[in-house]
């Protein structure tokens, strides 16, 4: 399967459908258990997806500039989200409602296909994350992160990186010290 060529879209004609917002770090855009009514496009900043796991927060994905984020399942079905969306840093975002997103999906030929590819890539990410937690040791997961997504370590607080890797911050510190020797 080939990735669709990014569409050249004149977003100015759709400005009335989305809102530009600026929010501080640690802003919860969607609470776990609430219905997702908005999707966001990140112009500046970093966002994480996380859920409460028996009192511990577990981060499972990060988003940065040029990426869209929502609780896709909740946004599409109208059912409560199984996770929260929270800004890591101050963010400049474009915010769009489901109704307005539907207008855009119907108005721009090829946009639905492009969005489906983004959703497919997200599914691949989840599959890889799931398998890595079963198949690899924490050190191997950290080494893969270093090799594949080193920017995360520069932009994301280590407690979120540890959570993403499925380990404690202390364990992450030990792994980092071991590899730096």
For residue 163, report the phi and psi dihedrals to the nearest 5 degrees.
Answer: -60, -45
pLDDT of res. 2:
47
Q: Which residue has the higher pLDDT, 10 or 132?
A: 132
Q: Tens of pLDDT along 86-143?
A: 999 999 999 999 999 888 888 877 877 888 888 888 889 889 888 988 999 999 999 9
Taking the model in full, what pTM does it have?
0.86
pLDDT of res. 6:
54
DSSP letters, 10-67, are -GGGGGGGEEEEEE-TT-EEE-TTSBP-EEEEEEES-EEEEEEETTEEEEEEEE-TT-
Q: Tens of pLDDT along 27-77?
A: 999 999 999 999 999 999 999 999 999 898 999 999 999 999 999 899 989
Q: Which residues pair with 18 in a beta bridge?
A: 96
Q: Which residue has the higher pLDDT, 4 or 128?
A: 128
Q: How far is 45 from 181, CA to CA, in rounded Å?
A: 33
Instruction: Considering the domain delimited by 13-108, tell me its CATH architecture.
Output: Sandwich (2.60)
The domain limits of the chain are 13-108
């Amino acid at each position: 399967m080939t990735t669709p060529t990014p569409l050249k879209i004149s977003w100015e004609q759709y400005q009335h459908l989305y809102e530009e917002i600026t929010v501080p770090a640690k802003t919860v855009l969607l609470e776990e258990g609430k219905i997702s009514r908005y999707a966001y496009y990140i112009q500046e900043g970093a966002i994480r997806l996380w859920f409460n796991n028996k009192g511990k927060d577990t981060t499972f994905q990060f988003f940065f500039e040029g990426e869209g984020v929502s609780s896709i399942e909740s946004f599409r079905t109208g059912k409560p989200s199984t996770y929260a969306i929270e800004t890591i840093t101050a963010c400049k975002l474009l915010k769009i409602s489901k109704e307005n997103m539907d207008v855009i999906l119907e108005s721009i030929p090829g946009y639905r296909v492009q969005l489906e590819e983004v959703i497919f890539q997200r599914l691949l990410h989840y599959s890889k994350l799931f398998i890595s937690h079963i198949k690899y040791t924490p050190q191997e997961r950290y080494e893969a992160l270093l090799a594949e997504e080193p920017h995360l370590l520069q932009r994301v607080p280590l407690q979120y990186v540890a959570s993403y890797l499925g380990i404690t911050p202390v364990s992450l510190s030990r792994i980092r010290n071991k590899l730096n020797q």
